[in-house]
Structures are given as structure tokens and as C-alpha cells.
Amino acid sequence: MSIIIPANSASAAGGFQVANSVRFNGGSNDHLKKTFGTPTNAQKYTMSWWFKGTGIATGSMFEAASGNAQNGAFVYLKTDDLQINSIVGNSEVMKLIPNAHYQDYSAWYHLCFAVDVTLGTASDRNKLYINGERVTSFVTQTNAPQNTNGMFNTAIEHLIGIDIYNSGGSLATPFNGYISEFVFIDGSQEEVTAFGEFDSDSGIWKPIDGLADDLTFGDNGFYLDFQDSSNLGNDVSGENNDFTVVNLTATSQSTDTCTNNFCTWNSLDNFYQESTFQQGNLQVRTKSPGVIYSYETYNTGTIGVSSGKWFWEVKFSAVDSGSSQIGVVDNGPTAATQQLGARTYGWSYTQGGSVDNNGSSVSGSWASYTTGDIIGVALNLDDNQLTFYKNGAVQNSGTAISITAPASTTSGFYFPAGGDNNAGNVTLQANFGSPPYSESGGKSDGNGYGNFSMVVPSGYFALNTKNIAEYG
């Protein structure tokens, strides 16, 4: 199993806190778009944003599209490879592919790309920074010719979260993941320190406040902070360069950001890569029975904990066959027929109304549940206890299940988990505080984090880096 340690959780105390991101779900072709006007200077511009990928296929985070496959500029995240290129007249005038991979899908990364094609030194014309550090090692490095225009910052359509790949305007290669603090500067090549700084205590690269006041954006410049759920394309730079919203809804707004990183399902911890993920890795659909294997497996969350009290919810959204299992485990699956409740250190609340551990039923009373029901999970690692809820009602008359102390498990951690049994096929939507579905409950933890359907048990907290830094 992959235990992911958030590479840039931005959990440093104090400082500027980013409130929202936008969650792109590639299956919906959701995106933002705007046709730029005549730029202040098409040869000088800077773009900056934070992103958290999901490992799902190829995704275009930002594109300048002429509606013609022979003309365009793109910033792609190809599963784990980052690629930036500009094509004019079917010729690549600029192409950058770093040697580094960006495969920590629990982490937020900051990207800054600063361009000035008037400069004499070729490598200075296209400066790429990741998490505040300039990238200097590339698989491919084709720098833009001096004094030539690419396609970014020209008077054509620009898109965030998707690609237009041919002259017919067909949509393709959507981005799957999260983006926050999207800034574009028209007319200058900015230093990366215009957008972030290294925390003096932790050394973590983090965003800074005051962008709207301190930056000169230029005619086409914009700053999208995604804080208005009714208008996610709202530009707060003062230039009024709003983007048109396509297929994004209020539920596309997330509180999972570069300053407070929330747990999701872990797309790397996915045996045989048979489960499918959507909604920013908050929705997982387990694999239906195959010809060779009888799939009975599960997926885990990106954040494991070894102490503290933690709460999350899982909505049982759909079932084609078999039945669901929701609970906790110390490790990911290592075989295609490994049920959650069959693991030595795995506990699962099953759809039929039982809790299983190590292949046996745990003594107690739990109600059955069906599609549309929401299962609450309260994990108490101060006392090594586990409690389940169905639609807000505590199960087993409130008597918690005793579980093995984390230090005595295989990994030393417990992870949220969900899957199927009986060679099934189920869909589970996790709510670790920022649900992928419309939730009117509005219940948060004691620190004000989360939007849960039920009242969070006293002393329990949502699985995010701010809470872990304080209580984990």
C-alpha cells in the first residue's frame, strides 16, 4: 500500500488562509472559459495557481485555444507528469516537461509559470516554479524563440479545467482535481515570491495574502479565489475579467485548499487499479465481477491517523450487486478477494446490518442500510474505540467497538476505508468535511471545519491537516 505523506499540506500555524478551491470532475466536462481581449503585452505574462491532482488520466489545467489543433497552448497534468507547451501553425514553439513527477495525490502543489520572450537568455524566457523552487531539470526543454508570440495571453479563448482539441471545438482531456488561487498577470514576468513564501518555522511553501492589492494585473489579468459559490468564475482582481462557468455547481466549491488539506480516497491504494474515482477522489466505484477474478476489495483514504478522535461520513450512493462495507483498516488490500472486514485490523459496517472483523461478525446490533443512507464513522484513537452511525442515529445502542491500538497494527495507522463484498459493485461518496454532493446539514466540528449531515460527536474532528497539526 502507498501511505501518502502530504508533501505540501501548508499546515504551518497562522498566516493567510485560503478559504476555497474548485473541484473539477472530468466526467462532467466542467470548466471555466473566457475569450481574452487584446493584451497589454503578449510576450510577457505570468500564471500562478495551486493544484491537487487525483491520478485520473490526462488533464488540462489551463489552455489558450484557437479552436484549431494547430494553434494552442496548454498546461497539462498527465497523471503525474507536468507538461507545458505552445503550438503555432502545427509547430511547437515552446515545450517544457520536468523530470520530476507530481504523484502525491494527497498533496497540494503550487505552480508558477513566468514568461518574457524578449530576454536574450533562452532559459530565462520561460521560468517554471513548483512549490517556490525553480525547475531546472527537464525531460524536454524547448524554450520560446526570442521576440515571438505563443498562444497564451492572446485574443482567443482561454479555458481552465479542460482542453478543446480540434477545429470543431470538441471538448477533451478534462482536468480531474482541485485548483485554488488562480492568478494571471498580463504584461510582466513576475517572481514566484509575488505569490507565496516559505514559512519560517516549517519551511513549507505557502500562499500570501494581498494579491488583489499588491499585484498589477494588466488588461487580461485576473484573480479567481472561488469564494462565491454562485459565481465560481468571479474575478476579484479589480479588472472584472470574470470567467464563464460551464457545468460547475455550488457543490464544485470545496474547502479542501492549499492551506487546509482534506482527506480523500487514495487512487494509488487501488488493487489492480480496478476501482474508478470521480469528484476529486471523493467518489469511488468498486470493480464489478470479472471473468478471472471475483472482486471483493476496498479502498482507503489518503490520511492515516495514530492518535486523536476523528469523524467522517460516507454516503452509500449505488449498488449493482453485492453489498457495501464502510469502516477503518490499517493497510490497503493486497489481493483481489480481500474484503475489508476480513482483515486482521479491519472493521467494516456492512450493508446487511453487521460489523465484521478478521472474517467474523462482531457481537452487537447494527441496522441494515440502503442506497441514499449516510454512515457516520467516529474513530477514537485515544481510547481505541470505533462507533458507527446511520443517518445520524448511533448504532449498537451507543456502545463502541474496541479495536487494536494503532501501534500494534501492521502500519501503525488507521485509514478510512470502503468497499464491497460478495463480488459486488458499489459506489461510495466520502464526506471528510467538504462533500461531493449537496449537503444541507451544515454541521461542523469543534474547530468549525466540515459540512456534515449529523452533529459531530463532541471532541471529534474532521480529517484535515489543520486538525491533525493540532490534535493528531
pLDDT at residue 6 is higher than 50? no
Q: What is the mean pLDDT of residues 309-335?
A: 90
With contact defined as beta carbons under 8 Å apart, do 135 and 181 qualify? Answer: no
Beta bridge partners of 414: 305
Alpha-carbon span 345 to 331, nearest angstrom: 8
Same domain? 453 vs 418: yes
CATH of the domain at 59: 2.60.120.200
Predicted pLDDT at 423: 61
Residue 425, domain member (yes or no)? yes
Measured CA to CA in angstroms, residue 174 lies from 26, 58, 70, 79, 182 at distances of 5, 7, 19, 12, 17
Q: What is the mean pLDDT of residues 190-211?
A: 95
Alpha-carbon span 76 to 89, nearest angstrom: 20
Same domain? 188 vs 308: no
Question: Cα-flanking dihedrals φ and ψ of residue 259, to 5°?
Answer: -115, -5
Alpha-carbon span 53 to 301, nearest angstrom: 15
Same domain? 117 vs 144: yes
Beta strand 253-254 with 21-24 is: antiparallel
The pLDDT tens digits of the residues spanning 103-147 come to 888 999 999 999 999 999 999 999 999 999 999 999 999 999 999
Residue 265, domain member (yes or no)? no
Predicted pLDDT at 42: 86
For residue 289, the enclosing domain spans: 271-471
Residue 15, domain member (yes or no)? no
90 DSSP assignment: T
Same domain? 216 vs 282: no
Residue 217, domain member (yes or no)? yes
Measured CA to CA in angstroms, residue 315 lies from 169, 190, 370, 446, 470 at distances of 37, 44, 10, 22, 28
Residue 7, domain member (yes or no)? no
pTM of the predicted protein model:
0.93
The pLDDT tens digits of the residues spanning 338-374 come to 789 999 999 999 999 999 999 999 999 999 999 999 9
The candidate with the shortest Cα–Cα distance to 369, out of 328, 417, 428, 422, is: 428
pLDDT at residue 7 is higher than 50? no
The candidate with the shortest Cα–Cα distance to 176, out of 20, 93, 60, is: 60
pLDDT at residue 404 is higher than 60? yes
Q: What is the mean pLDDT of residues 247-253?
A: 95
Same domain? 234 vs 275: no
Measured CA to CA in angstroms, residue 332 lies from 126, 247, 269 at distances of 41, 34, 6
Query: Considering its fold, how many domains does the chain have in total?
Result: 2
pLDDT band at 5 (very low <50, low <70, confident <90, very high): very low
Measured CA to CA in angstroms, residue 154 lies from 37, 71, 90, 214, 220 at distances of 7, 11, 17, 24, 9
Beta bridge partners of 386: 379, 401
Residue 260, domain member (yes or no)? no
Same domain? 419 vs 386: yes
pLDDT band at 257 (very low <50, low <70, confident <90, very high): very high
pLDDT at residue 177 is higher than 90? yes
Predicted pLDDT at 208: 96
CATH of the domain at 338: 2.60.120.920
Final residue before a domain boundary, out of 223, 254, 285: 254
Same domain? 286 vs 416: yes
CA 55 to chain centre: 9
∠ CA 210-83-101, rounded to 5°: 85
Same domain? 100 vs 190: yes
pLDDT band at 273 (very low <50, low <70, confident <90, very high): low
Helix (H) or strand (E) holding 312: strand 309-329
Residue 12, domain member (yes or no)? no
Placement of cell 464502510 in the chain: 326
Same domain? 305 vs 170: no
Alpha-carbon span 231 to 242, nearest angstrom: 9
Same domain? 368 vs 288: yes
Same domain? 392 vs 452: yes
Final residue before a domain boundary, out of 187, 222, 254: 254
Same domain? 281 vs 246: no
